[in-house]
Amino acid sequence: MERPVIACVLAGGTGSRLYPASRSDRPKQFLPLVGERSLLSRTMDRTAFADERHVLTRESFAGEIHEHAPEAGVLVEPDGKDTGPALVYAAWRLRDRFETEPVLVCLPSDHHVDDDAAFAARLERAAEIAAETDGLVTLGVAPTRPATGYGYIVPDRTEFSESGEFASVERFTEKPDREEATRLLESGAYWNAGIFAWTPGALLREARDSPLAPLVDALEDGDPDCGFDAIDPASVDYAIMERASDVFVTPLSVTWDDLGTWDAIGRVLETDNDDAENQSVGGDVLSVDASNNVVAAPDAHVSLLDVDDLIVAAFDDRILVAPRDSSQRVRDVVARLRERNAF
């Protein structure tokens, strides 16, 4: 492609649903949850094709980035206000890095894919589509189950390109109930992976006609702090993608998972040595008539007896025990801890 490509990796979150492994001073992107290397390090490997790579994070995490991504530039967002402001800020900061306007490929730092090379190829193709259309491109994952924890992208099937590689987005649907998720799966909708490609100009153009317009104005005036003060937290999907006119989806044709919950961690881990279908993150696990449990206790021995479908996570002096299908609700525990200033 003639335009340079910049990879922008989002690494500013904490990962509250992976408590107690993830804490306020130990975010999930720095943890080796599915191997010996951190999630951020593994993500950076998948962006090696880019002309430049940058990590977007908060100030309190900035000092640790180069331990996991020594080759990356570090962008520190003025305030943590979700992905919408973060990505607008990144576009503003990165737009003049080259004589020719670059294409930004933006992705979270906490995903799992089964084929890094195929994933990188799809990111490169998404960058080409962004350059060709001058629009906002999102990558969609073909659902394997009626998941209620993901948003969905409904493509306009009548407008797929001649190559069949991308289509206009008809609508976005936020996390649905199971019945609606089943309908979306059967209709050919995609999971919203939160992976995007666009030129800085295209994103800033659409952001000017969104709730993030005060931020764009302040950035153009050279006052990012004022811009962040002027807006409310908002995801890029809600603030921009759902309102924009030139939005396209292209399939991400690899096995993918968002490693945001203990249930997701369990899905990508191999079964334990007893063939009892328990998934463990380090540690020593003894299983007796127990199955489908996710155990994360790298410094402890855990014995499981006559229990199924549990999360058992022990880190430092903290222990979490919960039903596996309550993975999304771990954030409720964290909310209570934050009220006590104990997260």
> What number is the average pLDDT over the span 300-326?
96
The pLDDT assigned to 163 comes to: 66
Q: What is the pLDDT of residues 166-203, one digit of tens each?
A: 999 999 998 899 999 999 999 999 999 999 999 999 99
Are 150 and 177 contacting, i.e. CB atoms less than 8 angstroms apart? no
What is the pLDDT confidence band of residue 76, given thresholds at 50, 70 and 90? Answer: very high
Between CA 236 and CA 91 the distance in angstroms is 12
Q: What is the pLDDT of residues 200-210, one digit of tens each?
A: 999 999 999 99
> What number is the average pLDDT over the span 72-96?
96
> What number is the average pLDDT over the span 265-279?
72
Q: Which of 22-36, 125-139, 164-178 holds the top average pLDDT?
A: 125-139
Phi/psi of residue 57, each to 5°?
-150, 180
Q: What is the pLDDT of residues 317-343, one digit of tens each?
A: 999 999 999 999 999 999 999 999 998
Between CA 312 and CA 192 the distance in angstroms is 29
What is the pLDDT confidence band of residue 272, given thresholds at 50, 70 and 90? Answer: very low
Between CA 55 and CA 38 the distance in angstroms is 14
* Contacts of residue 22, Cβ cutoff 8 Å, sequence gap at least 6: 14, 15, 16, 28, 31
What is the pLDDT confidence band of residue 75, given thresholds at 50, 70 and 90? Answer: very high
pLDDT beyond 90 at 35: no
Are 168 and 155 contacting, i.e. CB atoms less than 8 angstroms apart? yes
Please state the pTM of the whole predicted model.
0.92
